[in-house]
Amino acid sequence: MALLEARGLIKIFGKLTALNGADLTVAENEFHGLIGPNGSGKSTLMKCVAGAEIPTSGTVTFGGRDISQASPAERARAGMSLKFQITSVLPALTLYDNILLALQAQCSLPSLVFSRSRGVLHDRAMAMLEQFRLVDRAAEPASALSHGQQQWLEIAMALAPEPKLLLLDEPTGGMSLEERRVTGELLQPIKKKCSLVIVEHDLDFIRDICDRLTVLDQGSVLDCGSVAHIQSSARVQEVYLRRA
């Protein structure tokens, strides 16, 4: 059974139809890329899956449960985690507190008030910072990081609660070539732990890490399949050449 299934998603903003019957299926431990020209509906599809937008029609099931109308918090509690397109770390808090904030989201109120889970979560917070090469800067405010490091911190925050599905919206946006390469390295180990849906403009990057790709054009799925299949798809090439 697929971990995530979105069927016939339509999203209309006023006179604009951003999604026009889009489908998306993601299996467990699959890295799935969403590509397409600007305005093709990639980010809207991601938002409909994460709960930032409620689709005008269509269904989203996650782990066999219909979550089409669920709030972002309910989806997060079901095991979904999102990294926004625009970096949204909490700049005034330290890197450590940013991670701890993500880790403790599902702790009970008494546990938070009496800080009971801090000891248990400490090692996990430090391990996440270590994994994303930020451990030496744990006590610094997030605002002190470079843009690329803030992106890493946000991926670490999204991964910290050990989600079943990680949604990354343009994780390498604004990064240097070297930072993109390192980001690819950092993402590779998580394949054993969760599935990934990634929206990305850098086709080389997405080709290197994804198992399957879905190509969107004008709010609809143009093609879907393995990386090799998409690379050889005449329809996909036509769309990209048309927009180039």
Residues that bind another protein (CB under 8 A): 50-52, 71-73, 76-77, 81-82, 84, 88, 90-94, 96-97, 100-102, 104-107, 109, 111-120, 122-123, 126-128, 130-131, 133, 135-136, 138-139, 141, 157, 161, 184-186, 188-189
Looking at the Cβ atoms of 16 and 73, the one nearer to another protein is 73
Expressed in angstroms, the distance from the first to the final Cα of the chain is 38
Q: Which two tokens stand for residue 219?
A: 């709010």
Contact 60, 68 (CB under 8 A): yes
- Closest distance between another protein and the C-beta of residue 243, in Å? 31
Is the CB of residue 227 less than 8 Å from the CB of residue 213?
yes
Considering the complex, what minimum distance in angstroms separates the CB of residue 73 from another protein? 5
Closest CB 141 distance from another protein, rounded Å: 7
Q: Which is nearer to another protein, 105 or 240 (CB)?
A: 105
DSSP, residue by residue, 222-233? EEEEEHHHHHT-
CB of 222 to another protein, least distance (A): 29
Q: Which CB atom, from 137 or from 212, has the smaller least distance to another protein?
A: 137
DSSP string, 105-164: GGS-HHHHHTTTTHHHHHHHHHHHHHHTT-GGGTTSBGGGS-HHHHHHHHHHHHHTT--S
